[in-house]
Amino acid sequence: MAKDSKTFEASDFGKSTRRRLPICFCLDVSGSMAGNPIRQLNDGLSSFFSSIRENDETRASADICIVTFGGTVDIFLPFGKLTKDHSIPKIQATTSLTPIGEGILTSLELLIARKEGYKNLGIKYYQPWLVVITDGAPQGNNAIENMEKAITAVNELESLDRLVVFNIGVGNNVDFTLLKRLSKKRQEPICIDSAQFSKLFEFLGSSSSSIVSSGMKDDALYDLSGTTKGNSVAMDEFFKYLED
């Protein structure tokens, strides 16, 4: 007997699993970020999360964690904790040193573990983003050694197209030589001052939407002078803004 369509129920079908885009923010909260910079960083993050929430597709796909480094390395927001109504507590600056390398290595561990988790559960995913924002140079015990380890690990993953790297320097005290080495695909680190955080996070939010909604390729995230693809905010506009 042929089955009548009226007998089909929603429960007969599963739910399509969204492809996930894991993003790890690795943020400098050392002493030099105290005051206005950390306030503007929080505002920028807040607008980033708002833009993620506004887009159904990106909200369903973006999987975000935040690692902070300032004296110690802390997992400020673990993966999987961001919900529609969940507000993110404000990040506080410390009065300590800048263990960038350790922060990046921790972020990589989290991203790799997250990817393994997706694989084990059969969840499709986009290649993870590592967003490093710092206003200084490596400081603390084994700081340079850890930074070198981090650069090697990040370069390897990036060269295999297993990681998208945003190396972002804030202000004039950044060790741009080291920061530049963090990405072999990006010709120069992204250089901003703290007043430009909101624009930076707007750019990151729109880029994540373009990856998820419009199938933009990861390489476009490095080709920042290229023409706009998908429905993103024009990426070159961000740089025009910086130039202006």
Partner 1 sequence: MIHEVKLAYLSLPGRKHRDRGLPNEDACVAISGNGVSVICVSDGAGGSQYTHAEIGAKSIVKTVSELMLNHFDAFYLDVRENVVRSILITAIQSELAILANENGIVSLEKLSATMMFCAVKDSRMICGHIGDGLIAKVSVAGIAPLTIPQNGEDSTSTFFATFPDAQDYLRIIKTTTDDTHAIVLMTDGLSDMVYNSSNYLVRPVVAALAELADLPGEEVEPQLKEAIMKHVIEASPLSDDATIGIVYFCDTTIPDAAKFSSEKPMPSIDFKDVMRTVQLELLPRVKLARSIVSQSGKPLDTGGTPTGKLAKSEESVESSNKDSANSMPDTNTKTKKRWSKRLYLYCILGLISIIVLIAVLISIL
Residues contributing to the site for partner 1 (CB under 8 A): 1-5, 7-10, 12-19, 56-57, 60, 116, 119-122, 124-127, 161-162, 214-218, 229-230
CA–CA gap between residue 30 and residue 140 (Å, rounded): 11
Nearer to partner 1, 86 or 162 (CB): 162
Least Å distance between CB 80 and partner 1? Answer: 17
Nearer to partner 1, 19 or 180 (CB): 19
Q: Which of 206, 164, 203, 212 is nearest to 58 (CA)?
A: 212
CA–CA gap between residue 212 and residue 173 (Å, rounded): 35
What does the DSSP 8-state code read for residue 84?
S
Nearer to partner 1, 19 or 185 (CB): 19
CA atoms within 13 A on the CB side of 193: 7
Least Å distance between CB 113 and partner 1? Answer: 13
Least Å distance between CB 4 and partner 1? Answer: 8
CA–CA gap between residue 233 and residue 244 (Å, rounded): 17
Separation of first and last alpha carbons in the chain:
72
Cα dihedral sign for 226, 179, 33, 52?
positive
Least Å distance between CB 160 and partner 1? Answer: 9
CA–CA gap between residue 209 and residue 215 (Å, rounded): 9
Least Å distance between CB 112 and partner 1? Answer: 12
Nearer to partner 1, 39 or 185 (CB): 185
CA–CA gap between residue 233 and residue 202 (Å, rounded): 8
Least Å distance between CB 8 and partner 1? Answer: 5
Nearer to partner 1, 27 or 157 (CB): 157
Nearer to partner 1, 17 or 92 (CB): 17
